[in-house]
Amino acid sequence: MNKSLVVCVALCLAQWVSAAPDPTNCDTLDPAPLDASVEYEAVIQAIFTGGPTQDAKCTACHSPNTSGALSLAPANSFAALVNVDSAQDATIKRVLPFSATNSLLFRKVNCANPGVGQRMPRNRPPLSLDEQRLIRDWIDQGAVFRQRVLVNGFE
Ligand code: HEC
């Protein structure tokens, strides 16, 4: 066998072995963005935290006081998610900017079998399709904390 082919096979195999398992049974979402510039605090954090009329969908478990490795409380969530390896499978980031499909956070809310652990919110009804799309859109738009506000072309 040709040497470069052997190297390629070895590298490709290493790539395959080191990738987090593919998710299955994912909800089909409308490919168009629901919101062209998703705000982290107002939109994404609000999904995690809930509100006066809404259950704390994620922070009920993912708070600094719980034993979970991931806190989704407002003071911690952004830094705990973006470009941070999953605590359970270091071959996937919790949030990989510009790639929702390669981010465990999105897989966890979008897929009945996310590949790593269970669907979130755990033991509760899945997030609505619109909530899933907002998380997808935020990641695909670069997973920034604040969108740049352009006034007459200047920041
Ligand atoms: C009933 C408790 C509970 C709720 C509610 C919950 N989680 Fe989780 N979450 C867990 C547990 C336990 C784990 C670790 C096991 C697993 O991944 O299944 C986990 C793991 C995760 C992980 C993977 C962390 C890592 O580093 O591997 C993410 C991301 C996550 N949850 C996001 C969410 C989001 C977003 C919500 C709300 C939509 C949510 N969770 C709601 C208990 C919960």
pLDDT at residue 82, rounded to an integer? 98
- Report how far residue 147's alpha carbon sits from residue 138's, in angstroms, rounded to the nearest whole number: 10
Residue stretches of the chain with pLDDT short of 70: 1-17, 66-68, 147-155
**Secondary structure of 119-154 in HEC code, one letter for each residue:** CCCCCCCCCCHHHHHHHHHHHHCCCCCCCCCCECCE
pLDDT at residue 135, rounded to an integer? 98
Ligand 1 pocket test, candidate residues 44, 62, 63, most atoms within 8 A of CB:
62
pLDDT at residue 56, rounded to an integer? 83
Residue written as tokens 């269970």?
A: 118
- Report how far residue 143's alpha carbon sits from residue 119's, in angstroms, rounded to the nearest whole number: 21
pLDDT at residue 154, rounded to an integer? 61
Q: Are 69 and 78 in contact (CB under 8 A)?
A: no
pTM: 0.87
pLDDT at residue 77, rounded to an integer? 95
pLDDT at residue 141, rounded to an integer? 96
pLDDT at residue 9, rounded to an integer? 61
Residue 25: enclosing H or E segment and its boundaries?
strand 24-26
- Ligand 1: which residue has its CA nearest to atom 28? 105
Q: Omega before 23 cis (within 30°)?
A: no
Ligand 1 pocket (Cβ < 6 Å) reads 48, 57-58, 60-62, 68-70, 86-88, 94, 104-105, 108-109, 116-118, 120-124, 127
Question: CA nearest 97: which of 133, 143, 138?
Answer: 143
Give phi and psi for 65, each to the nearest 5: -85, -15
pLDDT at residue 18, rounded to an integer? 75
Q: Are 133 and 29 in contact (CB under 8 A)?
A: yes
pLDDT at residue 23, rounded to an integer? 97
